[in-house]
């Protein structure tokens, strides 16, 4: 049996998550040793045809053409793993879902009629069946390696679904909400970053999206009533990289 064939695809995104793979400098050789990188235009012009065992998909669906393209990728792939907030939640560009896209195109482009785009930016899982979603804006490279590794070795990825708070407590970071009164999305956000922002005295921005049982209503009420955070700031916090993910979406809608 040959090595598993890996493909890396890009949709509407900034390339940051794919770069995480290239950023795995030390481990990249091991990855190349364990899989055949068959399709990865960001890294190599040698693009081989499918089928592929594992497809990593970055980016969201924002055009009719992309909505078709992702179906073809699904057909050609054994496992589809979406990586990053764009692919798993629609990304920052899903802010268009709350506004009038035509108005944006008129404001930004000299010839808006050249722009052919959907009204929405949506996650890949809205369009096809996805085998695993790796969260983050951007993703954590160690988690990416772990995910690839788990798929190759046919085991469940060790990607914990608990809150960011657990990462704070394990590393001994003092809670910025309790000790400084900072608004922090950590208690409702999926872990993965290692609680980076609180370790720099900042509240969590929710880059990894809502965790399971995310009680945003209780946290937002506390931020507003006890910490004195303005409604529009609470909305901004939720309507960020994962704005289109429930319950961030409706929590943001409730404040504003």
- Give contact residues for another protein (rule: CB under 8 A): 27, 30-31, 33-34, 145-146, 148-149, 152-153, 155, 158, 160-163, 165-166, 169-175, 177-181, 184, 186-188, 201, 212-215, 217-219, 222, 226
Of 61, 81, 83, 184, the residue at the interface with ligand SF4 (CB under 6 A) is 184
Measured from the CB of residue 212, what is the shortest distance to ligand SF4 in angstroms? 13
Of 124, 134, 204, 237, the residue at the interface with ligand SF4 (CB under 6 A) is 204
Of 130, 165, 183, 193, the residue at the interface with ligand SF4 (CB under 6 A) is 165
SS3 per-residue string spanning 154-197: CCCCCCCCCEHHHHHHHHCCCCHHHHHCCCCCHHHEECCCCCHH
Measured from the CB of residue 102, what is the shortest distance to another protein in angstroms? 39
Structure tokens at 121: 């930016």
Bridge partners (DSSP) of residue 80 are 55
Cβ neighbourhood burial of 205 (10 Å; 0-12, 13-18, 19+): buried
| Cα end-to-end span (Å), the chain | 57
Of 37, 168, 223, 234, the residue at the interface with ligand SF4 (CB under 6 A) is 168
* Footprint of ligand SF4 (CB under 6 A): 164-165, 168, 175-177, 184, 186-187, 195, 198, 204
């Amino acid at each position: 049996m040959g090595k598993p064939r890996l493909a890396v695809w890009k949709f509407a995104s900034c390339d940051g998550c794919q770069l995480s793979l290239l950023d795995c400098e030390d481990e990249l050789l091991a990855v190349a040793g364990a899989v055949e990188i068959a399709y990865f235009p960001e890294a190599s012009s040698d693009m081989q045809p499918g089928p592929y065992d594992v497809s990593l998909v970055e980016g969201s669906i924002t055009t009719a053409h992309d909505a078709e393209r992702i179906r073809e990728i699904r057909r050609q792939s054994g496992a589809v793993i979406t990586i990053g907030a764009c692919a798993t939640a629609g990304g920052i560009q899903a802010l268009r879902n709350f506004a009038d896209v035509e108005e944006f195109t008129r404001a930004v482009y000299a010839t808006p009629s050249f722009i052919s785009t959907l009204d929405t930016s949506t996650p890949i899982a809205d369009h096809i069946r996805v085998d695993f979603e790796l969260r983050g804006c951007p993703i954590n490279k160690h988690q990416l390696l772990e995910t690839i590794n788990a798929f190759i070795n046919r085991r469940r990825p060790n990607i914990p679904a608990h809150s960011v708070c657990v990462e704070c407590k394990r590393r001994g970071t003092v809670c910025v909400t309790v000790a400084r009164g900072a608004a922090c999305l950590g208690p409702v956000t999926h872990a993965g970053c290692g609680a980076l922002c609180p370790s720099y005295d900042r509240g969590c921005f929710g880059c990894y999206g809502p965790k399971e049982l995310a009680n945003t209503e209780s946290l937002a009420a506390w931020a507003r009533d006890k910490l004195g955070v303005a409604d529009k700031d609470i909305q901004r916090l939720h309507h960020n990289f994962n704005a289109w993910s429930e319950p961030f979406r409706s929590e943001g809608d409730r404040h504003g």
